[in-house]
Structure 1
Amino acid sequence: MIAPPDDIDRIMSVMERAFPPEFGEAWNRRQVGDALTVGNCRYGLIGPDGSDVLDPNTDTAGFFMGRSILDEEELLLFAIAPQYRRQGLGRQLLQRFINQARANGMARIFLEMRRDNPASYLYAAHGFREIGVRPAYYRTAAGSRIDAISQELVFDD
């Protein structure tokens, strides 16, 4: 799914606000653009009112990016800008991602996150379960290491 430049601007704007720089998790514009030129990647945006149809003058509250291979989907990036958190938008956006994956015939969804990521509660509430750990996978700006936690959501139907 090739994203128009203004949608990449929206993704970058949310990522810059949502991803703490000390963890180095944010992608740069080229990484986002390159990923979205591959046919198996998709993204979604959400506005402050929960809409996925955004007026050009409306802020973007959050986004997801995913990649599918055969019958598996990977949630590559997921973020809600700090000023829009705790309003149900993360739940709504994650549910939209899950529903689309299911509708596209996916059997499971994978994601990977740093240990102690606050979004772990959101993922658990949607049925994701830990399936592995990559010890000391992420490096912070200060040089310390943090484990990566792999999670999976399996569709039972």
Structure 2
Amino acid sequence: MNDDIDTIMTLMEASFDPVWGEAWNRRQLSDSLSMPHTQYSLIDAGGNCPPVGDKAAGFALTKYVAGEEEVLLIAVDPAHRSKGIGSALLRQCFQSAITRGAERIFLEMRDNNTARSLYERLGFEAIGRRKDYYTSANGSRIDAITFAKTLL
């Protein structure tokens, strides 16, 4: 598991814009993974689960609670974006969530996140807004958008 945490940390550092401070630190990630019903998925450049020791192109961290799944973090290495990796990773999340009994899946993102079109293309719908939720390094603020998708 420590190797996978190293992989996730590397992907997070490469993928999240430091301006928004969205990347978690190692302790936050480890603590989250120690909680019940929290899991991660890794994906390689071919859209498959990478064999141990192979390079991952993306990851997702999800949590299941009472018939609902939440995507806590998701990232695709910038070198592998726009190649279907994010779609494949989310589809893996959908299948895993269904297996765990989830009827809906949620995620939250910055209003200016370019991944919005991906989420909408895969059936997520905006269901809420948190005004000025994110604060950038320079102090500017931006809303968070909550999305949901019915799985069953």
Structure 1: runs of 5 or more not aligned:
none
Cα deviation, residue 10, structure 1: 0.5
Cα deviation, residue 38, structure 1: 0.7
The corresponding residue for 1:100 is 96
The corresponding residue for 1:87 is 83
Query: Secondary structure of the residue that 1:21 maps to in structure 2?
Result: coil
> What is the CA–CA distance in structure 2 between the aligned matches of 1:145 and 1:52, rounded to whole Å?
36
The corresponding residue for 2:41 is 44
1:54 aligns with 2:51: yes
Q: Is the 8 A contact 2:60 2:75 kept in 1?
A: yes
> What is the CA–CA distance in structure 1 between the aligned matches of 2:17 and 2:51, rounded to whole Å?
25
Query: Secondary structure of the residue that 2:143 maps to in structure 1?
Result: strand
Structure 2: runs of 5 or more not aligned:
none
> What is the CA–CA distance in structure 2 between the aligned matches of 1:17 and 1:26, rounded to whole Å?
10
Q: Is the 8 A contact 1:132 1:150 kept in 2?
A: yes
The corresponding residue for 1:16 is 13
Query: Secondary structure of the residue that 1:52 maps to in structure 2?
Result: coil
Q: Is the 8 A contact 1:46 1:54 kept in 2?
A: no
Q: Is the 8 A contact 1:108 1:153 kept in 2?
A: yes
The amino acid of 1:108's aligned partner reads R
Aligned length: 152
Query: Secondary structure of the residue that 1:22 maps to in structure 2?
Result: coil
Cα deviation, residue 54, structure 1: 2.5
Q: Is the 8 A contact 2:64 2:100 kept in 1?
A: no
The corresponding residue for 1:120 is 116
Instruction: Detail structure 1 runs of 4+ shifted over 4 Å in the superposition.
Output: none
1:145 aligns with 2:138: no
Cα deviation, residue 49, structure 1: 2.2
Cα deviation, residue 47, structure 1: 1.2
Q: Is the 8 A contact 1:109 1:152 kept in 2?
A: yes
Cα deviation, residue 62, structure 1: 0.3
> What is the CA–CA distance in structure 2 between the aligned matches of 1:33 and 1:104, rounded to whole Å?
21
1:12-69: CA deviation from partner (whole Å, max 9, x where unpaired): 010000000001111001000000011110100011222203341x321000000111
The corresponding residue for 1:129 is 125
